[in-house]
Amino acid sequence: MFQIIESSSAGNCAFLQYDGLNILVDAGVGVRRVGAYLASLGLEIGDIDAVFITHEHSDHCKALKNLVKYRGIKIFANRLTAESIRYSIPETKVLNWQIFETGRPFDFYGISVTAFSIPHDTSDAVGYCFGCGKRNLVWMTDLGKVTLSVMDVAARANVLVLESNYCPVLLDNSSRPYNLKMRIKSSHGHLSNADAIELMAALDASKVEKIFLAHISRECNNTEHIRELLKSSGKLSAILNRIEIVPPFSCNSSVFE
Ligand SMILES: [Zn+2]
Ligand SMILES: [Zn+2]
């Protein structure tokens, strides 16, 4: 089963349970929130087998420093991301780091994991494709543009977590500093609602079982607005009822079995 515990510009963390393995994708929400979520499933933090980190921004890794007493949890990241986190949060040096090479698939107890590069303003940000049996779960948030290689991975997804970060008008009208607005819109920033719609429209409708629109900005986006855009786009009618907008206010997504 797969469920997003929380996703927004403020924090990101999701739970994947497959074949007896308990996995987190990113650890960017408070450890108490993760603990409460796991408790609702009859689990605790110590039951986590692995955390897969996408990049070093705090909305993706701030809970790591609170995992240091759980040495059994494997923390997967590429070298530059791990180094960046260990440098900025020294407590995390003692974590059970597992360093992988971006682009080279590896097996984690039966899950085929591929990390792929995404354009973002960090040392070496990645998205993930988790091959669970015959299905692929693809996680892609925090990317400034959809590259050809990103599109290739998205096309393999049966379940896709896709960033729909901002509405350009709300971003322009927000109180955010000019530099930050430029950063968000840049090719190493985030995807707008229109970018996300364009990507989804290019997918093979017969393959996509579920899309979670995630990493939505609290200040510069609006779930009702996204809903209207999806309905009016005209390109998404075949998959519209499979798209779930994850509200950016400490909300779980639905459970995907
Ligand atoms: Zn982020
Ligand atoms: Zn980021």
At 206-219, the pLDDT tens digits run 999 999 999 999 99
Q: Is residue 161 packed enough to be buried (19+ CB in 10 Å), middle (13-18) or exposed (0-12)? A: buried
| Band (57; pLDDT cuts 50, 70, 90) | very high
122 alpha carbon to ligand 1 midpoint, in Å?
A: 11
pLDDT at 254: 95
Tell me the average pLDDT across 15-42: 97
How far lies 2's CA from each of 183, 212, 227, in Å? 31, 11, 23
Does 251 have pLDDT greater than 90?
no
- How large a percentage of the chain has pLDDT more than 70? 100
How many C-alpha atoms does 168 have within 13 Å on its Cβ side?
9
| Band (191; pLDDT cuts 50, 70, 90) | very high
142 alpha carbon to ligand 1 midpoint, in Å?
A: 5
- How large a percentage of the chain has pLDDT more than 90? 98
Q: Domains of the chain: which residue ranges?
A: 2-245
12 alpha carbon to ligand 1 midpoint, in Å?
A: 7
| Band (229; pLDDT cuts 50, 70, 90) | very high
* CATH assignment of 2-245, among 3.90.700.10, 3.60.15.10, 1.10.1200.10, 3.40.50.261: 3.60.15.10
pLDDT at 253: 96
60 alpha carbon to ligand 2 midpoint, in Å?
A: 7
Which backbone phi and psi does 5 adopt, to 5 degrees? -75, -40
136 alpha carbon to ligand 1 midpoint, in Å?
A: 22
110 alpha carbon to ligand 1 midpoint, in Å?
A: 28
DSSP category for residue 166 = B
Q: Return the ligand number nearest the Cα of 11.
A: 1
12 alpha carbon to ligand 2 midpoint, in Å?
A: 10
Nearest to 70 by CA among 89, 48, 40: 48
57 alpha carbon to ligand 2 midpoint, in Å?
A: 5
Letter string b/e over residues 34-73, b meaning 16 or more CB atoms within 10 A of that residue's CB: bbebbeeeeeebeebebbbbbbbbebbbbbbebbeebeeb
Residue whose tokens read 């519209």: 240
Q: Return the ligand number nearest the Cα of 123.
A: 2
Judge if pTM exceeds 0.85: yes
pLDDT tens digit string along 78-114? 999 999 999 999 999 999 999 999 999 999 999 999 9
pLDDT at 171: 97
| Band (250; pLDDT cuts 50, 70, 90) | confident
